[in-house]
A and B are shown apart, each in its own frame.
Chain A
Amino acid sequence: MAQIFHSSANNLSKLGIVVGLLTVTGLVGVVFELGADSSYATRQGIAREQPVPFSHTHHVGSMGIDCRYCHTAVENSWFANVPPTKTCMNCHSQIWLTSPTLEPVRASYRNDTSIQWTKVHDLPDFVYFNHSIHIKKGVGCETCHGRVDQMPLMKQQASLEMRWCLDCHRNPEKYVRPREFVTMMGYEPERDVGADQHTIGVKLVEEYHIQKLDTCYTCHR
């Protein structure tokens, strides 16, 4: 019986194996790369469920409460702390007294137990981010957290990937704003300061002594 396959088929099959393997590896790589950057992995733009559906739209957008009324530590500490129950109760012992939505808050105050909030902006544990210095150097809340005044439920605006951090750490002039506008939502340099971002940015980098800190120990240790 004649051979079904010509001897060159050996080479073809070998080539096929190699190409097949390469394709599979490549595909896996592509899926990995896409997956690692996907909002599934970074949780970018995903609102998290919370024990109380706290609305920043309402409190910041409608009522105009300053960020620092609740996030008191932001100018002092690493963390812009989630406010203690007492802060909620400052107002909610007067208004919305019977709202069932606020029952977990009242229960927390009554029983002296913490409300367990889900962390929305969760950096990996090997990243040491300090809020106070960013505020001091004129990085607006909005720059990282987005328009929280338009977020009925809190979501993560940015990817929080290292390349995203480095964009600003390498080019701070693209993002910084005068200190008086740090907590402002919807800041527009042309409207609010009367100059374009680049002009202001370059000026502020000089004025606030903003360094381009891109060495590892700045954030990792």
Chain B
Amino acid sequence: MSEHSDNPQAGNLPTVDADAAAIRKRLEGRTGRDYWRSLDEIAETPGFEDFLHREFPRQASEWNDGDGDGRRDFLKLMGASLALAGLGACTRQPTEYMMPYVTQPEDVYPGKPLFFASAITQGGYATGVLVESNDGRPTKIEGNPQHPASLGSTDAFTQGSVLNVYDPDRSQTINFLGEIRSYSSFLTGFKDIVAEQIGKQGAGLRILTETVTSPTVDAQMKDLLTQYPSAKWIQWDPIGIGRREGTKLAFGSYANPVYKFDAADVVLALDADFFISGPGAVRYSRDFMSKRRIREGSGSMNRLYVVECTPSSTGAKADHRWPLKPSEVEPFARELAAAIGGSAVAGGTWSTRPWFVSLVKDLQAHRGTGIVIAGENQSAEVHALAFAINESLENLGKTVVFTEPVEASPDNQLARLKELCSDLDSGTVDVLMILGGNPVFNAPADLDFAKKMQKARLRIRLGMHDDETSQYCQWQIPQAHELEMWGDARAFDGTVTLLQPLIVPLYGGKSPSELLAALTETPEKTGYDALRDYWQKQHTGTDFEAWWRRSVHDGMVADSALPAKSMSGAKTPTASSRQPVGPDTFEVSFYPDPYIYDGRYANNGWLQELPRPMTKLTWDNAALMSIATAERLKLWSEARVELKHGDKTVWASVWVQPGQPDETIAVHMGFGRTRSGRAGNGAGFNAYQIWTSDSTTYASGVSLRDLHQKYSIAATQHHYLIDREHGPHKDAAHQAFPADADFETAEASLRGIVRSVPLEEFQKNPNAVAELGEQPPKGLTIYPDVWKYKGYAWAMAIDLTACTGCNACVAACQAENNIAVVGKKQVLNTREMHWIRVDRYWEGSVENPTAHFQPVPCMHCENAPCEVVCPVAATVHDQEGLNTMVYNRCVGTRYCSNNCPYKVRRFNFFLYSDYVTETTKLQKNPDVSVRSRGVMEKCTYCTQRIQYAKIMSEREERRIIDGEIVTACEAACPTQAIVFGDQNDPNSRVTKWKKTDLNYGMLADLNTRPRTTYLAEIRNPNPEISALEKKS
């Protein structure tokens, strides 16, 4: 990876000049609604001002992508492009050909997409999806409305996984020591090995897989283990170790907790980001937000408490959030368990604090309607304690329900992996088969797996990529993507979900089930046969064929969720002993990355470029630390440091994160890949290098060394800032907020851009939201309202209460609208192309700020400022109120973007769309133009979907039904925070939302009449705790 210390761009992000003391001073004593975007905003660093005042910061006015010389190149390029433009006009369209079917399948009409049910898995857990197939190419993934883990929504991973099918860096051939071989030659060679192992009862055979929830693969494995009784099957997933072991520790046996958030009134999350990570996150987000339907007139709300070691989406939505050090989570849970059980802990740290008392009181007041949930990355002890707390609160069986384990053969994965390592060391392993996963990259560093695995005589790898693990294997066999194979997997509640292929494996990939067949007497048995045979055996009814067709069609086996099982007697585990922390060392907590997970999506450009919910980082991870810690160490964001845990070291870059507990560091895993492909290689640093088997939750005693280098990080937190009204802080708006008169940065609150009101206040004063900003009267215009929207009038409303900032909408929009990935260098220049962005605002102190999310697509203003400045009428209004963008007319003046108060227009400074890579062309949505260099683009309200619905409704001679048009962002949103429809229809959902007192337009004071409006965020703080906070 290149160091940017001498690069002029390195100074692009305004981070170094911020003065911690000044920041504190400015925020001192603030209790009102003061929103800020970043530390630089408060400090008013010159860099931030630069971002604010320039439409396209810095390099925007230069014609270079960071490598050119500026003006001279510009003139050369201009000359060349003028000449080319002239010549280009002389050509006629190239001749195109048509290749009809020889025999056309039934139901297939060329040009008409079909949808098939399938599933995408994460850590083994399935989410049911419907995959759009355009002439045989899977192009877009939607949720399966019937599937319990999806209910029609998806997360960002699922949206991104369709791009993985077409990843040009996938392993494309079967390789034996670097030579290309055929699968039959593999089978021939493997036959002798199989014979040898049968003779040895499989004593030298080890099979390493990821977590298996598939009943079929599990049955195959168990058959194999009877055939080879001495062989061993090891499962390994680095994420969720504590979650898997928690039930075993508490109850003595493995079980699967299912949380019923739709029945919970009070939720406490113990470092749990349950909106984003863990099984069932999409469903849990939906269920949780279903208890916050203020927009539908409900006057009651659930309440969320979060204690966490680094800011998360869940923490951002919390009504009360407290930062904890990683080492404090377990003692906290222990004290809480004791307090709820009625026994006070002697010398307790928290039980004396008033807020803790109120928290306990609130939990106790909601017996049977509360949930205490521990995080995916938390230790088994914390999980066990959470179960014990739930039990004493009588939540078990009500809001926390247990089933048999979803994992087919649950086991202590870490212990089994260690056992494998010692077997490898002792030389007893002849054949090591690694199906999927990437253990060389993601096994704990102290196991030294890469070195040990080479002690196996024969190493066979089934992998999507020729990656870190493959390089140490003699055989590399391409793995089929989930959209290329038949299979099954269970969802978070045990529902059996069927994986159906959408396309023939592009590179002849095999599924794990097909490779396992190589060990049996029927080595060429297909994945389909294995799956069907298994279910035929399971099926007890009469008509298997009808049942099977139904199940494949639905993408799941009906009523296959695991039955609830009563569990009780959760044991309180003994305190885990951790080595005392030496002075000047830090606790480092580890998390899966919200988008590239454990590293498996590292080569996915969409997910790499998706700004992380809280940090807004793209293409990098960072060592997150608090402002006080950074100040003490005399470091600031983008400083390069070395983290040392025991004898393991890694070079990381610092990012100062508001809300991070002092003297702790949080890192996200999955970055720093070396063999993932063009997008993932060299992005970020590899946190697994300091992740050891005795500290899977957090490492203590990590020392830090300043390397005195700078490393540019592409964070989008300052991008597309909405400018101040009349220069800084000396305007009328400030007069309305005399208390804030000296506070210079409350821009978002002054103009009412993001609005958040406590439930109590909203109930007392229904105008509380409207009063936060100015709303011009409808008639305020010098032009008469000539145009009446008589037909449809498309509009959108976004509920900020429900938005968790997960960015699934951004990923979905990218997939639907052929939005280009621009790369880190271009993101540094504020040139990311996302049509919808999720702005994150902080409020309050830097130590523990509240966060707010606000998705910002095009507002489709009725009085659109962009339209009046376009010299070529490339952006014009249509009869239904859409602000249309015509690429072929656009000449790239960028005036429209300059005049857009919302900063939602994106310009193709270069040829960002990939016209070169053959495979990724297959992913493109055929209904949306792929934009070329030099044109402006922006959200179209998914006009292709509007046109499709219009054509369908006109063909059926009816009006469009409310809900028939679902924009990509709306469809993906796990919490249904976005609604789109016809605002002329008095019964449409969007009209109803807009009629509520929560509704407001962003910058409506400019009289732009935005069609996209927001429902203000309502929070439900505990009045007792709020009173305490006010006092202090």
Contact = CB atoms under 8 A, between A and B. Distances in A.
Interface in A107-130: 108-109, 112-119, 122, 124-126, 128, 130
Interface string A199-221: 00000000001000001111011
B98 A126 contact: no
A85 interface: yes
13 contacts: A42-B92, A73-B111, A86-B101, A114-B101, A119-B97, A124-B93, A125-B929, A126-B888, A133-B951, A137-B954, A216-B878, A221-B928, A221-B929
A78 B113 CA distance: 10
B944 A221 contact: yes
Interface in A1-56: 32, 35-36, 40-43, 48
A132 B92 contact: no
Contacts of A186: none
B112 interface: yes
A14 B17 CA distance: 59
A136 B955 contact: yes
Contacts of B957: 209
Interface of B: 89-90, 92-93, 95-104, 109-112, 876, 878-879, 882, 884, 886-888, 927-929, 940, 943-944, 946-947, 951, 954-955, 957
B110 A117 contact: no
Interface in A66-103: 72-73, 76-79, 81-86
Nearest to A115: B100
B929 A79 contact: no
Given A128-B947, A217-B943, A221-B929, A81 B95 contact: no
A73 B955 contact: no
Given A35-B90, A119-B96, A73 B112 contact: yes
B99 to A, nearest CB: 4
Contacts of A79: 109-111
B369 to A, nearest CB: 48
A109 B100 CA distance: 12
Grouping DSSP codes into helix (H, G, I), strand (E, B) and loop, the A interface class, with mixed when no group exceeds half, is loop
B864 to A, nearest CB: 14
Contact of A73 (B99, B109, B927, B928): B109
Listed from nearest, the 7 A-B pairs whose CB atoms lie closest are A215-B878, A78-B111, A114-B99, A77-B109, A84-B101, A73-B109, A84-B104
Nearest to B954: A133
Give chain B's interface secondary structure class. loop
B535 to A, nearest CB: 32
B513 to A, nearest CB: 29
Contacts of A133: 951, 954-955
Contacts of B92: 40-43
Interface residues of A, number: 47
A48 B98 CA distance: 13
A86 B105 CA distance: 11
B887 A73 contact: no
A48 B888 CA distance: 28
A42 B101 CA distance: 28
A114 to B, nearest CB: 4
Contacts of B928: 221
A116 B99 contact: yes
Given A128-B944, A132-B951, A132-B955, A216 B102 contact: no
A126 B887 contact: yes
A221 B879 CA distance: 16
A82 B100 contact: yes
Given A124-B93, A132-B951, A85 B98 contact: no
A117 B111 contact: no
A76 B102 CA distance: 20
Given A72-B104, A84-B102, A85-B103, 8 more contacts: A32-B90, A109-B102, A116-B99, A119-B97, A126-B887, A126-B888, A133-B955, A221-B944
Contacts of B100: 81-85, 114-115, 117
Contacts of B103: 84-86
A114 B102 contact: yes
Nearest to B111: A78
B109 A216 contact: no
Contacts of A114: 99-102
B954 A209 contact: yes
Contact of B927 (A108, A128, A216): A128
Contacts of A221: 927-929, 940, 943-944, 947
Nearest to A220: B886
